[in-house]
Amino acid sequence: MNLSKKTDYALRALFTLVEHQGGAPIPIRELARRNEIPRRFLEQIMLQMRAKRWVKSVAGKRGGYLLAKRPEEITMGEVVRFFDGYLAPIACVSARRYERCSQETVCRFRRVLLEARNLIARLMEEATLARVMRGAPVAPSEIFTLQGRDGDGI
Amino acid sequence: MNLSKKTDYALRALFTLVEHQGGAPIPIRELARRNEIPRRFLEQIMLQMRAKRWVKSVAGKRGGYLLAKRPEEITMGEVVRFFDGYLAPIACVSARRYERCSQETVCRFRRVLLEARNLIARLMEEATLARVMRGAPVAPSEIFTLQGRDGDGI
DNA sequence: GTTAATCCCGAGCGCATAAGTCGGATATTC
DNA sequence: GAATATCCGACTTATGCGCTCGGGATTAAC
């Protein structure tokens, strides 16, 4: 999984909308300013998210965008999958872009990549906007005991 | 993390060399044939791995490549990092390509991405060629109880 | 009903990168 | 010295990401 700018921007905008739930619509201009996103580019992104029914728009003066679902109903995994197309690190272990590989039966490391994909998928699918916003762990704690490792740095 | 073809090919070649440890040098032609890799392209890759001292070459007729280290001493993480440059899904949580992001303190989801990065890093760093070859789990079992999830498909 | 702020939509563009090609030099064995 | 390898640098080509742009439709405020 590799986050594109588009997905990054989409998530930023979404979280801003979550923060302002119940309030007035937020115009793209404002979403762009607060998250340092090129306005015209964000426009496209918002349109796609509207088609997905994650957000709804109000046209005209005083218009803007609102969240269209509850923050519990949108996961980071969905967002990444929608914009980037997949979560897996390579096609042969992907649910979305799977394509048979002639080497599959011989491949020594496919198994490891599959494990990686499963971890990520699990993590991202647990990560609803609500949970992430709350700052709560997004997956069962036993995973996260692994975090701090020797000299990893950041 | 997203595996490039280059990294994929590099790993395939490495595992082939592991299988043939102690035997005669394997020429690129053969490595390419067995793993369905464009020969000229693999040439480049092998040269890079030679510079890294993961493999050594024997020039001339009957020449080819040999593993230069024990399979316990090379991890998939190293290989991915070398060819693709990083393991992290986004620069702001990467050890290698870290760059400060002005939104860092406000960013709601950075934390999740950091968790993802840590999981992957851990997994890939545990994955020595030897272990993967053996087919043994590459990381502590508690991680892998998470694997099979509802309707995930592949 | 005019103005101003907004969303909506399609098109296009430039650059970086991945993935692969190629020509030919150099080394080694038989 | 022919055959088989590696070695090296340069080149190519396609794709996609990350934007930018022009202009139309919609609505609120005055």
For strand A64-67 and strand B55-58, is the pairing parallel, antiparallel, or unpaired? unpaired
Q: Is B103 on the interface with A (CB under 8 A)?
A: yes
Q: For tokens 């036993």, what's the residue?
A: A142
What's the confidence (pLDDT) of residue A139? 61
> What local confidence, expressed as pLDDT, does residue A102 receive?
92
Evaluate if residue B23 carries a pLDDT over 90.
Answer: yes
- List all nucleotides in chain D with at least one atom under 7 A from a protein Cβ: 2-10, 17-22, 25-29
| Segment A48-64, tens digit of pLDDT | 999 999 999 999 999 99
pLDDT in tens, A105-117: 999 999 999 999 9
All domains of chain A in start order, with CATH:
5-67 (1.10.10.10), 75-135 (no CATH)
Residue A20 has pLDDT above 80, yes or no: yes
pTM: 0.90
Q: Token pair for residue B134?
A: 């053996």
pLDDT computed for residue B99 by the predictor: 85
Mean pLDDT of chain B: 90
Of the candidates B68, B83, B71, the residue with the CA atom closest to the CA atom of residue B127: B71
- pLDDT for the residue numbered A150: 34
User: Does the structure show a pLDDT above 80 at B150?
Assistant: no
- Alpha helices (H) in A3-153, listed in sequence order: 5-19, 28-35, 39-51, 76-84, 110-126, 129-134, 141-144
pLDDT at A112: 95
pLDDT at residue B104 is higher than 70: yes
pLDDT at residue B11 greater than cutoff 70? yes
Q: Show the tokens assigned to A49.
A: 């998210």
Q: Is the pLDDT of residue B44 over 80?
A: yes
Q: Report the C-alpha gap between A72 and A115 in whole angstroms.
A: 26
Q: Two tokens at A86?
A: 């997949």
pLDDT for A154: 31
Q: From the Cβ of B4, is strand C under 7 Å away?
A: yes
Nearest to B154 among A95, A146, A149 (CB): A95
In sequence order, what are the residues at sequence separation of 6 or more whose Cβ sits closer than 8 angstroms to the Cβ of residue A147?
B115, B118
**Are B123 and A119 inside 8 Å of each other by CB?**
yes
Q: Is B101 on the interface with A (CB under 8 A)?
A: no
Percentage of chain A surpassing pLDDT 70? Answer: 88
Q: Do B119 and A143 touch (CB under 8 A)?
A: yes
**Strand D protein footprint, C-beta under 7 A:** A 4-6, 38-41, 43-44, 58-63; B 27-29, 43-44, 46-47, 50, 57-65
Residue of A nearest to B86 (CA): A2
Instruction: Please determine, for residue A79, whether its predicted confidence score (pLDDT) is greater than 80.
Output: yes
